[in-house]
Amino acid sequence: MMLVRSRPQLFGSKLRVKSLLLGVAGLAAMNTLSSPAFAQEASSDFKVTGFVSVVGGKVISGDANGVPVAGEKCPCYTADWGNAGVYRDNFSLKPESRAGIQLNYKPTADLSLVGQVVVRGTDSTPNVQWAYGGYKFDKHWELQVGRKRIPLYYYSDFQDIGLSYPWVSTPPELYGWEVTNYNGASLRYNNSFGDTNVTASIFGGSETAKDPLYLTLYYPNKSEVSWKSIVGGDLEINQGALTVRGVYMTSTARTKVFALGIDDSAKLSAFGVAMNLDLDQWFILSELTQLERKFNNAGYSYKAPAFTFGAGVHLGEWTPFLNYAQYKESSSDEKKYAPQSFKRLSLTLKYDIDASSAVKAQVDRHTDITKNFGGNATVFRLSYDRVF
């Protein structure tokens, strides 16, 4: 049985909001600990940083007859697939608000230890996103071992840090599958050749997720997802205003939903290309990805290409940004798997309060192309992003 992106069942709980507020309070404490006064007493080899994004929004218009899932009702809009973040026609802070703390420790000049914990409005449990050690062989090569993000997308390493991009959140047409982390190792390389900067890595590992939030979008049952034999590599080249990045990855994906007797395995492959142009005042962001799953035992496969393209302009502290994104599936056997497609046009206005914080307002017009995906929706969102 295939996983089909559809509208999730949210678990409305005051505990989730309380947990997020506690996370924000914890970050405020970390901000105090990392203040200059405290830094004079702390070791320069130990650093505490953090981030917070308070995001609220609602569906302001949409199809009331959109395809419901697990008893939910439309109008609705899925803004964060990986973390089951869904907006409806009531204003909510739960779908995308988040806070995180990162610890960096360098016991020696060549050895580093990194840990990051994130709490979300959709999840009351603090989750470890990063927990790895790095060893530099020289100024160009570094081996990292532990828990990291799968670098499948341009913003993978910092997609939770809202201050690092012009949208309220990264485009859900590309970002958001059932697995986002891996436990393993990566060998990283960076160098400069004149005005050209090169960064590359090869990585490998595995991940098993118990009851991932992504699957709660489809099944209100106990589930498990495992991506085994993850192997991939990425290459990023920057020269002046232009940055180009490519990535390729393969894995074996298995999904279990125990109460329903579902046990699917597929060969997974994915690639991505990003091209960004920064002309000081004007900038262009673009990214294209494709994920393919081959269910050899079931005799079919599907591809899920997606892309985003946007342009913005810096006008002092203000940055308006216009973006288009699309997700379009194709199936080798539409009787076994019916493909789905949708697209979205968005307009964002960002205001930089200072170098460490910003507010954004965004309007999205989501179109359900195949009319089996929750229906059309117009969404309004506001965010406050800060790093410490």
Q: In the prediction, which pLDDT does 72 show?
A: 66
Cα separation, 88 vs 95, whole angstroms: 10
Give per-residue pLDDT as tens, 209-267: 998 988 888 787 789 999 999 999 999 999 999 999 999 999 999 999 998 888 999 99
DSSP 218: T
- Phi first, then psi: give them for residue 31, nearest 5 degrees: -65, -40
Give per-residue pLDDT as tens, 347-363: 999 999 999 999 999 99
Residue 147 half-sphere exposure toward CB, CA atoms < 13 A: 13
Give per-residue pLDDT as tens, 222-234: 899 999 999 999 9
This model's pTM is above 0.85: yes
Residues 6+ apart with CB under 8 A from 130: 102, 114, 115, 116, 146, 147, 148, 149
* Cis upstream peptide for 75 (omega within 30°): yes
Give per-residue pLDDT as tens, 141-167: 999 999 999 999 999 999 999 999 999
pLDDT of 191 over the 90 cut: yes
CA end-to-end span of the chain: 44
pLDDT of 70 over the 80 cut: no
Q: Average pLDDT in the 184-197 region? A: 97
Q: Average pLDDT in the 170-177 region? A: 93
> Could you tell me the two tokens for 204?
């490998």
| Residue of 320 and 374 predicted with greater confidence | 320
Give per-residue pLDDT as tens, 303-314: 999 999 999 999
The CATH number corresponding to 14-387 among 3.30.1490.20, 3.40.50.1110, 3.30.1130.10, 2.40.160.10 equals 2.40.160.10
Of the pLDDT bands very low, low, confident and very high (cuts 50, 70, 90), residue 109 is very high
Q: Average pLDDT in the 112-129 region? A: 94
